[in-house]
Amino acid sequence: MPRYRYSCQECNDERVVFHLYDEVPHVECEKCDNIESMIKMITTPYYPKKEIDRGKVGDITKEFIQKNREILEEEKLKAKEDTYDPS
């Protein structure tokens, strides 16, 4: 859920509020108890940078497919053992 900063025009108190984008929250100042003085501050979103050693797209795709093949084969063997009825 996104977070938004609100600032009071009366006492300059700031507050962070979590709400949906299209939701209109009833934010009131905790210091002066004034509802109509709170305005939403313009903020820039924070995107954490990930340090990933990225190879070529083809290499990454091949690695992903190989890992999933191994997992799929393991799951097939487990399913075969669970459903095998020698009678």
Residue pLDDT, tens place only, 57-83: 678 788 888 888 988 998 888 888 877
Give Cβ neighbours of residue 4 (< 8 Å, ≥ 6 apart). 16, 17, 18, 19, 40, 41, 43
User: Can you give the residue ranges of every domain in the chain?
Assistant: 3-40, 54-87
**What local confidence, expressed as pLDDT, does residue 77 receive?**
87
Which amino acid is it at 34?
A: N
Q: Nearest Cα to 26, choosing from 34, 77, 72, 59?
A: 34
Q: What is the pLDDT of residue 85?
A: 67
8-64 pLDDT per residue, tens: 888 888 888 787 777 777 788 888 887 778 878 776 666 666 655 566 667 878 888
